[in-house]
Each structure stands twice: as C-alpha cells, then as structure tokens.
Structure 1
Amino acid sequence: MKKILYLLFLMTLPVLAGPTQTIVFSGKISNSPDGVLKVRGESFEKDIKLKPDGSFSEKLDLGYNGSYLIASGNNRAAVYLTQGMTLALNADHNDFYKTIKFSGKGSMENQYIASKNAYVNAINQQKLYVLDETEFLKEIQAVKKDILVLFDAGKFPKGVFAERERKNIDYLAQIFVLNYGKNHAHFAQLPDFKPSESFDKIDPKINLDSEADFLFSNPYKQLINLDFNQKLEAQLKPEDQFLWKVALPEIKKYKSQSIRNALAYALTVEVSGSNPEVETLYNELLALSTNPHFKKELTQQYQKISALKPGGASPAFNYENHKGGTTSLESLKGKYVYIDVWATWCGPCIREIPALQKVEKDFHGKNIEFVSISIDAKKDHDKWKKMVTDRQMGGIQLMADNDWNSQFVQDYGIMGIPRFILLDPDGKIVNADAPRPSDPALLALLAELKI
C-alpha cells in the first residue's frame, strides 16, 4: 500500500475568500533582515514593505475574520485579525519572541496568543512524552489549566474570540494526546509501543466539519488532518498507488467549503505525470474547489504535466558539478539519463541512496548515466559537497542554481522530493515521474528498454 499522504494545512493554504474585512495594521520591526513583514492567511497573502527605520502602516483587506501568520525572516507568529481592528505590532527581529508587543484594538487577544504560544513552545517534549499514560494525562491537564489561567487573565468579554478560543484550548489538549503514541515510542525508545485505544480516538463530541473553527484554530486543522487520514487508511487497499479515488468521495462529504478547498489543494500532489488518470483528477478538483486562485494554480500545474508526456523534449539544465565545472543535459545526449532530484535535508531522499548506488553498480558501463540534482539552498552548498563525499555518492552529482525555484524544477512541476526522471538518448522523456531505485518497477522498466 502506498504510504498515507498527510495533508497538513498550512497558513498559506488558499481557500475561498469571503466578504472583505478591512483592518489597519501598523508598527515597527527592528533589525529586519530583508525589510519585509509577511502576512499569510487561508485566503490572503501580503508582503508589507518596511520603511528604513523598520516602521510600517498598511490597510489590509482580509478574506475572513480569524487566524493569520506573520513572518519576519524565519520568525513566525500567529495573530488574530478581525474587521475594524487598528492593531500595532512592535518587535526586534533579533529577539522576536521575547520582544513582540501588541497595542491598539485587538492587542488584548494577540498578546494573549503570543503568551500562550510562548508557553506551549517552551514545553519540554521529551520530558512530557516519556511519561507513562497516567502521568502524561495528568501533565496535559496541568498544561491546559496553565493556559486557562492565561486566558482568564485576559478578561475577554463574551463573544466570538472567547467562545472559539475556549474550544481551541480543548483542541490543543486533544492534539497532545493523539500524538502520545508515536512520541512516547520515540522518546522512551520503545519502537513497538502501542497506547491504550482511547489515545488514538478523537473526541466524538468535536464537530469535525466547522468552517468557523477551521478558520480560527490550527489545532482544529490538525484534527481534521488526522481524522481524514484515518478514513483513508481504513479504505485503501494494498494495490492502491494513489489516494484520490478514495479521498475525493470523503472530501465531498464535508459541508465546510474551506475544508473541501484545503483537502482538494492537498491532493494536487497527485496531479503528476505518474498518474495515468491525471486528466480525470484534474477535472474533479476543478469541479470541487470554489477558489479561483487554486484553479489557476492547478491549471498551470496540469499544463506543465501535459507538456511532460513520454516522447516530449525534456526541459534542460546546466548545473554545477561536484567534481568541478558544470554539466548540461545536452552534454549527456547519446545515453539514457536517470535523474534523482533530492536534498541533504530530505530523509526519504537519503534512504534511497543505498538502492540508487546498487542500481548504478549493476548498470555500470551500460548506456545510461545516473544524475543526482540537489535542490539545497545556496547556504547549504558546503553541506551538499560534504554529504556527497562522505557517502561516496556515485554518478554525476549536480547542484541546482536556485533550489525549489530552479527552472528545471519548475518546468517539471516538482512539488515533493525525491523525484526521479528517466530520459532517452535523444533527451526525450521516457517517464517524468519514474520509479524509485528501491522500487522493483525501475529494474523492470530498464530491462524493457534493453539498457
């Protein structure tokens, strides 16, 4: 059975925008590395350009009232934004989480969120998850109590925020419990550990089809994610290579259009050249989603895939070679080319290295070149050089010029790695999403081509 795809909902996930909600957002970010404050939401994306002194003031037309994400470089913080707010933010990028301060209308809610997240992030995960079940549940109740103390100190009036945040605290506690099994196995070094049955069950009293909670609560998104994947796991058969035929009927059961859109967006990873029914999936997702931005992105992805059919000319590359100089696809014509797109930080990529080395050895001297293209960031150039040397990686080792944004990566519509591509001696596509080295199907394919 294909491994379950965990459809994680990110704050940048596009969903249908509702009526415009306008706020005034201002403040100052000292020591900003790039002079930009990013604001991201479920239907919103805005880069605020800071003045030379780090100050800013911007009117934001939001798509909904709820949770958003702000980012200064790698520093990120959740914020709650609603219509009519005049919110000010002040922080020092170099000590972001300790200096973040809010003022103006909406500051009470956002200062509480910052304090709550600081508390949660400071929890020692190892000490928490190494506890036995009884002690763990006691500790979670203590965590929940501490958060409620922070919440009560805010003296929030009865209303939307107070009502949803109380539920959000419950959702957070539920997530801690649901993660107990795998985390206890890890931290207690008990790989075969299985928790009591209740630890794997989502509270049946939780409504898992709430538009309002989805737009407000990140823990709620995680609950949707876990529940959805449990449904897929129960239905997938060993021979299933793709999720979408099982996933689509489940997605259509949701009444919340935001949840439907988010799950549809997550399934775009299966809009790929390796999917023999990609056109059917493309049309299904177009019909399912109500988000014009998603439809545009999906169509662009499908058009790229359509251009990558077997027999078509492959996009070109000319990248730095680990041994010095550069290597282009043009220079490899005359031989089959098996390409591995990977990165040093990618666990699944690294796990494929031994299998790739064996295939390379088995086909040494034959009419095929093995090319590995790293999409590591420029800052990790030395890390790439060292890993290739330390692991004695064979074949032709290249590094792309702009990580994920490299033209070759973009032209192939690569959204996840590792990704393998097989080209013929004329530089034409045999398979734009070829089997992995660990998959027996690769050897069968190479044998079929009589390489």
Structure 2
Amino acid sequence: MKTLFSLLFAIVFTTISFSQEKILFHGKIANRNGDVIYIKDNKTIVKEIKLNKEGAFNDSFETKAGMYQMFDGVEYAELYLKPGYDLDLKMDAAQFDESIVFSGNGAKENNYLAQSTLLDAKINFEALLKSNEQDFMKQTNEMKAADVARLEKAKLDPGFVALQKQEGEAKIGELQQYYTMTQANKKLNNAVAPNFNYENHDGSKTSLESLKGKYVYIDVWATWCGPCRGEIPFLQKVEEKYKGKNIAFVSISVDVDKDHDKWKAFVTDKGLGGIQLFADKNWTSDFIKSFNINSIPRFILIDPKGNVLDADAARPSNPKLSEQLDSLLQ
C-alpha cells in the first residue's frame, strides 16, 4: 500500500522525446487483481495490457520518455519508460510493492523506483508532522539530501535522474507546506468557533449557535470531490455508531451556486444522514475562510461550548476518530 508521502505528494513529470522506438513490456504477475494492467500518464491511459490466465503478458507500445504509473485495478506502481526499453516484470500482487522486480533494459531505473516506495513506507510521517518546526525542517532537509546522494550513487539514466531530483524537490516542498498548514490549524484549537447560518437540505437554515450543548463534527465537502465521496460510507457508519449520543454530524457543501440542485439531488439519492448544509459563498464563505480551508475533505470537531476542539480532525475512515469520540462521549 502507498504511504501518506506518496498519496499526498505524488507529482508526475515528463520529458519530451520524439523517438518512435517501441517500449517492450512483458512479465508475469502472481495473484493478480484483474485481467488487465494499465500504463497511465497521470489520468491518461497510455496502454491497456491484457494478462493471460496465468498472469503473464507480452506487449509493446510507443510513448515519450518520462514518468508513468502502472495500475492493476487496485494498486499503483511508478514506472520510468523510455523508447528502446525492454522490461520484464515479476511480481506478486498480494505483496504488491514488496515483490516488484524488473530485469532487462531499463530495469535499474525501475527497480530504483520500487525500492524508493519501500523506503518511503518506513518513514513515520505521523511522528514527523508532530515534531517542532526546527526538528521538522532539519529532518526533511536531511531526507532530501539523502535521496539526492542515493540517486547520484546509483549511476542511472541522466533523464531519469533529472526527473527524480525535480520530483524529490517538489515532494519535500509539498511536505513542508503541509506541515506549515497543519501548524496553523493547531493554533485554531481552543478558540471560539465562528458561527455559520447555512441553508439546510430541508429548506430551513441551521446555525452553529443552535447546536451548542452538543459536540459537532463537521465535514466540509463537495459533490465533485472523489476523496469526499470515498469518506461517505465511513461517515455513515460513524453516524450510526453514535446515534442518540450528544453529538451532531454536520456536512457543509462548498459546491458553487450553479450546482445547488446537483447537491440537493445527491444528498437525496445517496440517502446522506446528519445535517446537510450548503455554504452561502462556497470557498469564500466566512466560516470556510476562517479555518483556512483550501482543500477537501476537511473535518472539524467543535465542543459543546462552541470552542474548536480539533481544527483538523481525523477522517471517518481513520480509527482514531472513534477513539476520540469514545473518550468524549462516555
């Protein structure tokens, strides 16, 4: 499985090449997750490769040199492809990242990527993000320097090295930016939560003030947001678990005005529970801006007195949310 590092900061870089020389790609996948693997350039499918019933495949295609992803329907692996490469892959999809081994022309670069994924998995990002600013900057800069040293020592394709250095710079930069954002969020804790008074799905209006006396778990989302929709089944389970407890579950949509009817239909069609609200000015709503929300989903926990308990609360899919609510709602 991919780490937070990969999920939060994966950035695709490509270089331009006009060569039409084909890339040969073959191999065998044990315990495959499906009958097809996809070679993708971000969201674009470059090649669809079919596996036989033994999990073997043998194909060729043309594309420019650069970074790509191999997707088997469940998991992703990074690839570096270049015209003229002749890659053979052996892996067990049941141990996806751990089992990837390439041989042939281009194997060194792609085995390097596979090993990088395993190294990333060993980083304790939760502890890193909890460290003070001085320690955090020191550790992340050391990580960047270690990655560059490892890359230069490996003596790999110059184009690959250049792309990896760019991606490494971007990943560390994004991680440092994320740290700054989380530190800013922490400063909001224990402050009085700003009020809102938004349109309720039932046609009335609901304010945060009206919910005083209860814990309030707020989900900021939008109908177009894939990760937001992915949290819905987990949120429904949490709502059911704490039904009848002293907590209100509030979902605030930041859909734009033209999607108002889409929001209403989505809530109805999906049978969404809790208190469903529509922010008055989407991203520029006062409540949204006060929490510096620029990406979603975002979850906020308010205490019964109307104070911010956690400005960046755990997602419903995170077991830590139930642990926190259990301790508060005993």
TM-score class, shorter-chain normalisation, is 0.5 to 0.7
What corresponds to 2:227 in structure 1? 348
Q: 1:269-305: per-residue Cα shift (whole Å, max 9, x none)?
A: 23344xxxx4xxxxxxxxxxxxxxxxxxxxxxx3xx3
| Structure 1 segment 27-176 matched on structure 2, within 5 A | 125=45, 128-131=47-50, 135-136=58-59, 138-140=60-62, 144=63, 169-171=64-66, 175=67
2-structure distance, mates of 1:322, 1:204: 56
Compute the displacement of 1:333 (Å): 1.6
Compute the displacement of 1:240 (Å): 4.7
Describe the shift of the 1:393–1:200 C-alpha distance in structure 2 as closer, same or farther (beyond 3 A).
Answer: farther
What corresponds to 1:153 in structure 2? none
What corresponds to 2:102 in structure 1? 198
More strand by share: 2
1-structure distance, mates of 2:289, 2:102: 44
Q: 1:219-250: per-residue Cα shift (whole Å, max 9, x none)?
A: xxxxxxx95x9636414348652666675422
Describe the shift of the 1:233–1:405 C-alpha distance in structure 2 as closer, same or farther (beyond 3 A).
Answer: farther
Q: Is the counterpart of residue 180 in structure 1 residue 59 in structure 2?
A: no
Q: SS of the residue aligned with 2:192?
A: coil
2-structure distance, mates of 1:272, 1:205: 34
Q: 1:358-407: per-residue Cα shift (whole Å, max 9, x none)?
A: 22223223321110111223332222211211121111101223333333
Describe the shift of the 1:203–1:192 C-alpha distance in structure 2 as closer, same or farther (beyond 3 A).
Answer: closer
1-structure distance, mates of 2:245, 2:105: 53
Q: What is the identity percentage for the equivalent residue pairs of Structure 1 and Structure 2?
A: 38
1-structure distance, mates of 2:324, 2:74: 42
Compute the displacement of 1:10 (Å): 8.4
What corresponds to 1:86 in structure 2? none
Q: 1:57-103: per-residue Cα shift (whole Å, max 9, x none)?
A: xxxxxxxxxx9xxxxxxxxxxxx9xxxxxxxxxxxxxxxxxxxxxxx
Q: Is the counterpart of residue 405 in structure 1 residue 284 in structure 2?
A: yes
What corresponds to 1:250 in structure 2? 143
What corresponds to 1:5 in structure 2? 7
Compute the displacement of 1:259 (Å): 6.1
Judge conservation of contact 2:279–2:285 (CA < 8 Å) in 1: yes
1-structure distance, mates of 2:44, 2:273: 41
1-structure distance, mates of 2:237, 2:187: 32
Please tell me the residue identity of whatever aligns with 1:412. F
1-structure distance, mates of 2:226, 2:306: 29
Tell me how many residue pairs correspond in the alignment: 257
Describe the shift of the 1:312–1:376 C-alpha distance in structure 2 as closer, same or farther (beyond 3 A).
Answer: same
2-structure distance, mates of 1:201, 1:348: 37
2-structure distance, mates of 1:315, 1:248: 37
Q: 1:296-338: per-residue Cα shift (whole Å, max 9, x none)?
A: xxxxxx3xx35402x2112332222111132221222222111
Q: 1:271 aligns with which of 180, 187, 191?
A: 180
| Structure 1 segment 202-221 matched on structure 2, within 5 A | 204=108
What corresponds to 2:297 in structure 1? 418
What corresponds to 1:394 in structure 2? 273
What corresponds to 2:116 in structure 1? 231
Q: Is the counterpart of residue 308 in structure 1 residue 308 in structure 2?
A: no
Describe the shift of the 1:333–1:202 C-alpha distance in structure 2 as closer, same or farther (beyond 3 A).
Answer: farther
Judge conservation of contact 1:129–1:184 (CA < 8 Å) in 2: no
2-structure distance, mates of 1:337, 1:204: 52
Compute the displacement of 1:185 (Å): 7.9
Please tell me the residue identity of whatever aligns with 1:7. F
Judge conservation of contact 1:315–1:408 (CA < 8 Å) in 2: yes
Please tell me the residue identity of whatever aligns with 1:312. A
Q: SS of the residue aligned with 1:422?
A: strand
Describe the shift of the 1:317–1:185 C-alpha distance in structure 2 as closer, same or farther (beyond 3 A).
Answer: closer
1-structure distance, mates of 2:207, 2:74: 48
Q: SS of the residue aligned with 1:358?
A: helix
Judge conservation of contact 1:319–1:398 (CA < 8 Å) in 2: yes
Describe the shift of the 1:387–1:243 C-alpha distance in structure 2 as closer, same or farther (beyond 3 A).
Answer: farther
Task: Output the TM-score relative to the length of structure 2.
Answer: 0.62
Task: Output the TM-score relative to the length of structure 1.
Answer: 0.47
Q: 1:130-154: per-residue Cα shift (whole Å, max 9, x none)?
A: 3468653x222xxx4xxxxxxxxxx
CA-based RMSD of the aligned residues comes to 4.2
Describe the shift of the 1:202–1:360 C-alpha distance in structure 2 as closer, same or farther (beyond 3 A).
Answer: farther
Structure 2 spans left out of the alignment, 5+ residues: 19-39, 77-91, 130-135, 150-161
Judge conservation of contact 1:355–1:437 (CA < 8 Å) in 2: yes
Describe the shift of the 1:390–1:360 C-alpha distance in structure 2 as closer, same or farther (beyond 3 A).
Answer: same
What corresponds to 1:324 in structure 2? 203
What corresponds to 2:320 in structure 1? 441
